[in-house]
Amino acid sequence: MEVIDGMTPEQLRAMADEMEGAGQRPGYMRRVEVDGIEVDVDMRIIADIRTMRIIADVQGRDDTASAFAAIRLFDRILGDQRGMVEKALSDADGYCPVDRYVTFAMRLFEAVGAKN
């Protein structure tokens, strides 16, 4: 293959990728670390109407309904990362205590600046 200005095609591609921001998260993605666990949060999900409806369920129900809605909320925010987070929060026997998950999730919400 032809070399342009002393650069191989692979070098040119690498430079173009770097200039285009290849490998970087889009602007709506925010990486945060909470309790030693790194997660990527899609801020579009935070601002989505369906998420707001779940938040309304968390705030507008009795304790039991609120707890279930909170779990749905954080499952939505974590998406495919949920299993990794549950594993990281699990005890030595592999169980992920609800209170530990909810505490993590609340800290995550605060870390992305979504908590009022």
Residue 16 has pLDDT above 80, yes or no: no
CB atoms within 10 A of CB 96: 15
Assigned domain for 11 exists: no
Structure confidence at residue 115 (pLDDT): 55
Backbone angles phi, psi at 4, to 5 degrees: -105, 125
Structure tokens at 90: 């699990």
Range scoring the smallest mean pLDDT among 8-17, 38-47, 75-84, 90-99: 8-17
Assigned domain for 1 exists: no
Assigned domain for 8 exists: no
Structure confidence at residue 94 (pLDDT): 96
How many domains are contained in the chain?
1
Q: Which residue has the higher pLDDT, 1 or 48?
A: 48
pTM of the model: 0.69
Structure confidence at residue 23 (pLDDT): 58
**Which range marks the domain in which residue 71 is found?**
26-111
Assigned domain for 56 exists: yes
Assigned domain for 74 exists: yes
Assigned domain for 88 exists: yes
Range scoring the smallest mean pLDDT among 1-5, 76-80, 94-98: 1-5
Assigned domain for 44 exists: yes
Q: Give Cβ neighbours of residue 61 (< 8 Å, ≥ 6 apart).
A: 69
Assigned domain for 15 exists: no
